[in-house]
Structure 1
Amino acid sequence: MKITIEANIAAPIEVVWKAWTTPDDIKQWNAASDDWHTTQASVDLRVGGMFSSRMEAKDGSMGFDFAGTYTEVVTHQRIECVFGERTLRVEFIPGPDGVMVRETFDAEQTHSEEQQRSGWQAILNNFARHVVRKIGA
């Protein structure tokens, strides 16, 4: 099963793309709630390049790594990757009010569809807030 989430971000495509693909930015927005954070991130943005991030609870009680390989990179348009046996497609769609970021990913079996959708959407919403803060809007 595939899950799709999206958010419209009132910012230029160049700013949105850079915030999505820069490790220092990723560490600022990649969390679903205020009690989690990303302690490290790396990006080798090319087909066959690897990405990784470490998400941890701020109280130190748990954490996990999220890593994979880029399978397609079209600057300012699309990023596709595999992580484990799952795939992720991120589309950057410019429009009159900014950029629509749409993520489509393979669901996993541990958590319900709604838990996955809400968790990934929370991270995407955090990304949108980060970009808007970045441009000072």
Structure 2
Amino acid sequence: MQITVETTIAAPISTVWSLYNTPEHIKNWNAASDDWHTTASAVDLREGGAFSSRMEAKDGSMGFDFAGDFTKIIEHALIEYTFGDRKATIQFVDTAEGVKLSITFEAETTYSTEQQQQGWQAILNNFKRYVEK
């Protein structure tokens, strides 16, 4: 099953692309709630390159690494990657209202579809707020 989350960001596509893919910026927006944060991030943005983000609860009670490999990159338009045995696609579309950013990913079986959709949407909403501030 695939899940899609999306938002429209009032900013130039070059800004959205850069802030989405730069480790220093990722650490500022990559969290689903205020009690989590990203403590480390690395991005080798090229086909065959890898990425990773360390996400941790701010109270130190738990954390995990989100990592994968880029399989297709079209600058300012598309990122495809694998993470574990799953795949995701990110589309960047320039519109009159701003950049429509959509992420489609393969669902996992541990958490409900609704929980996964809400978590990924929350992170995308944080990204929108970060870019637009």
- Tell me which interval the TM-score lies in, with the shorter structure as reference length: over 0.9
Equivalence for 1:124: 124
Structure 1 spans left out of the alignment, 5+ residues:
none
Quote the Cα distance in structure 1 between the aligned partners of 2:75 and 2:128.
Answer: 19
Partner SS state of residue 117, structure 2: helix
Establish whether residue 66 from structure 1 lines up as the match of residue 74 from structure 2: no
RMSD, aligned α-carbons: 0.3
Query: How do 1:95-134 residues align onto structure 2 when only pairs under 5 Å count?
Result: 95-133=95-133
Deviations 1:63-105 (A, max 9, x none): 0000000000000000000000000100001000100000000
4+ residue runs over 3 A deviation: none
Quote the Cα distance in structure 2 between the aligned partners of 1:119 and 1:53.
Answer: 15
Structure-2-length-normalised TM-score? 0.99
Equivalence for 1:93: 93
Deviations 1:23-72 (A, max 9, x none): 00000000000000000000000000000000000000000000000000
Equivalence for 2:36: 36
Quote the Cα distance in structure 2 between the aligned partners of 1:78 and 1:125.
Answer: 19
Aligned length: 133
Structure-1-length-normalised TM-score? 0.97
Partner SS state of residue 33, structure 1: coil
